[in-house]
Amino acid sequence: MAPMAWASAPPVIERTPDADSAGAIERERAYAGLSLGDAIRQALIDDDLDFAFKSIAALGRAGGDNSTALYYSGVRAFSQQNYQDATDTLRDSDKDDMLTAGLVTWAHVGQGQLDQAINVWEVYGGDGNRPFFNAYRGLLAEQNGEIKAALGYYAQAQKAGELHFVRDLSRRYVTLLVQAGRKNDALKAHDEIFGEPKGLDPLETQFRETIASGKPKPLAAMLPQASVSSLMSNYASAMMLVRIFQANQEQNDPTNPKSGEPSEKPDADALFVGDALLLRTALKIDPSNQSARFSLAEALSEIDEDKAALETLAPIVTGERLDEVRREKAVLHLSLEDASNAAALLDQIPQNLRDRRWWDLQASIRSARGDFKGAFESANKSVVAARGTGEWDEDLARLSMMRAHYDLGQKAEAIEIARALVKKLKPENPVRGSAGLFLAAEPSTHVEGLPAARESLKMLGADGRTKLSLGGVLAQFPGTRAEGVQLMRDALAEMPRSPLFMNALGYTLVEYDIDVEEGFQLLQKAYELRPYSGAITDSLGRAHYKLGQLDEAQRLIEKAVDMRKEAPDPEIYDNLGDVYWHQGKPSEARRMWQMVKDFGGHYFKQAELEEKLKNGLKGPAPVKKTAPIFVEPGSV
């Protein structure tokens, strides 16, 4: 299969041992026990590009197609700057394939053969309407010293909307316009590509100011490695954005008979493999490509591989995007329940770059650490920072304020903000969905919030995370519990290897006694995949409690308490109190429950907590059962 064909439409990944029957592929020890599809996925998480490409190439050869094997041979030669070997290897490859054409084009550039390079890219470009042709034809002209021609090609790329997807080249175009004495054209082009000045992030605002002053930084030459790596990472990023755009269009198109209905979602793991294959290749060719690192970290985070995402961003220690890296790392640390490192990274960002996003994130970190007053102050500053920057930012800041009110126990104020957002915004706005979900989670406004939350599920294309969030809320209420559990099952079907999705469904099945054994199996697997998660450790402990295995429940939940010292969760202390009570330790149990009450803020099980503090737990301890043994082919 051609490289671009794999990237744009990766095959469905099988998760059974039968996937290995496609060919006799020697398995490396690290991937033993995994199906071929899962092994390729894991290899790309682990930065083992060789294994991934060899496996995909073997699948191709089994079907009589050797193009992937040749393509990767060309990639390896190019990454080692063996440009002659790259052109020789790819000489007979598909000339209409953009990625292959890019390798051959800039391999010629690396050999100083500009005419041959331009010819190869022109053949790929055909009538000039092929993806990214004009943008990178502009770069070729620039590298050949033809600045007037470069500006013409970049202008064609802008007209076609390509420059929205190649922002590194967009900046070159805008800078070249200034250098050509066309500052007004440069500002106009910048605003068309990057958006209105009031909505720009601080770094982009600074760049625009250099354009307005007529003093942008001089352009550095783009070497062959940087050029090809840019092409690959920009294409991968474009594919990720186009998928989101197309999903939104399908849901919001009134002429589409299925508009507003949940649509079938592609296999999330297959999409990740396609994206990661391009981005890992881009980084193999040019490890300094920061855009590729950001996009790869995003793709890893989308499948809940946050540790791998952090490792991907780790090499970025200098450059103009360093503070953006610090913010993204802070988000990942918070997701990994490490609020202390998240706060430390956020504090390193200078005052002049602290926009609405910065204050929102600080509010979340402070809330996770139990500093609800501090979170409220940060949310207030988010509202101030968002003023005048556009409706989107202003509404997100109000959402942050809603959560801050709620955490302080100011439920009425939080509900008022949520109602205002639901009333003001259109159904397709995800902020409205979040506000509706908040209302649906509150017993007093549950029925009121359900329509907005369900509309959000439809308008956002019924993506897995929206299903999981809505399902978790619906499962809290007996009347909608079955619907909620089904949504969570649907979400897990889209992300079958996500420990966070397993945890959400597993805990629900256990907590509400829907199917304790199935819940235990899911939580055991989630724990094996993410043993460093305090939330998952607590969930597994709760499953052992429901099975009457109090000693193991105590061990795990006490471990979870220790793991979450920097981001304490009152529900974990509540669960530990239940264990202590049935172990015959009423004073220890009440101490845990009192800690939950003293934690401050609003606890969603407040009524049950008050009852336990007053009268303890009623009824006997759960009957002791043997934990189910669960073995699944391909499990890790």
Dist. CA 283–CA 4, nearest whole Å: 17
Non-local (6+) Cβ contacts of 403 within 8 A are 363, 367, 375, 379, 414, 438
Structure tokens at 55: 């496996």
By CB neighbour count within 10 A (0-12 exposed, 13-18 middle, 19+ buried), where does 533 fall?
A: buried
* pLDDT computed for residue 174 by the predictor: 97
- What is the domain class of 497-636 according to CATH? mainly alpha
Q: Which among 130, 129, 128, 152 has a CA at the least distance from the CA of 141?
A: 152
8 A C-beta contact, residue 466 and residue 460: yes
pLDDT for the residue 632: 47
The pLDDT value given to residue 631: 46
pLDDT under 70 in the chain at which residues?
1-34, 244-266, 460-462, 601, 629-636
What are the CA-CA distances from residue 600 to residues 79, 97, 383, 409 (Å)? 56, 59, 24, 8
Count of CB atoms situated within 10 Å of the CB of 298: 16
Q: What is the pTM of this model?
A: 0.88
- pLDDT for 545 equals 97
Tell me if 630 sits within 8 A of 525, measured CB to CB: yes
Half-sphere exposure of 279 (CA within 13 A, CB side): 29
SS3 163: helix
d(CA 91, CA 55): 23
The whole-number pLDDT of residue 93 equals 87
> pLDDT tens for residues 337-383?
999 999 999 999 999 999 999 999 999 999 999 999 999 999 999 99
* pLDDT score for 17: 37
